Amino acid sequence: MFRLAIFLAASAAFLLFSLRSLRSPRSHGFYRFFAFEFLAALILWNIPYWFREPFSVHQIVSWFLLLTSLGLAIEGFRLLRMIGKPAPEAARDANLGFENTTTLVTVGAYRFIRHPMYASLLGLGWGACLKQLSAVSVALALAASAFLLLTALAEEAENLARFGSPYAAYMKATRRFIPFVF
DSSP letter for each residue of 103-133 = S---SGGGGTBS-HHHHHHHHHHHHHHTTS-
The SS3 of residue 87 is coil
Give the Cα separation of 177 and 58 in Å (integer).
22
What are the angstrom distances between the C-alpha of 18 and each of 5, 89, 161?
20, 14, 22
**What residues contact residue 96 under an 8 Å CB cut-off, 6+ apart?**
17, 29, 89
Between 155 and 89, the higher pLDDT residue:
155
**What residues contact residue 47 under an 8 Å CB cut-off, 6+ apart?**
3, 131
pLDDT 10s digits, 130-158: 999 999 999 999 999 999 999 999 999 99
Weakest-pLDDT range from 18-22, 101-105, 148-152? 18-22
The SS3 of residue 175 is strand
Give the Cα separation of 75 and 77 in Å (integer).
6
pTM: predicted TM-score of the whole model, two decimal places: 0.91
- Ordered by start, the domain boundaries in the chain are 2-173
pLDDT of residue 70: 97
Residue 88 DSSP label: P
- List, in sequence order, every beta strand (DSSP E) within the chain: none
Given a cut of 70, whether residue 92 has pLDDT beyond it is: no
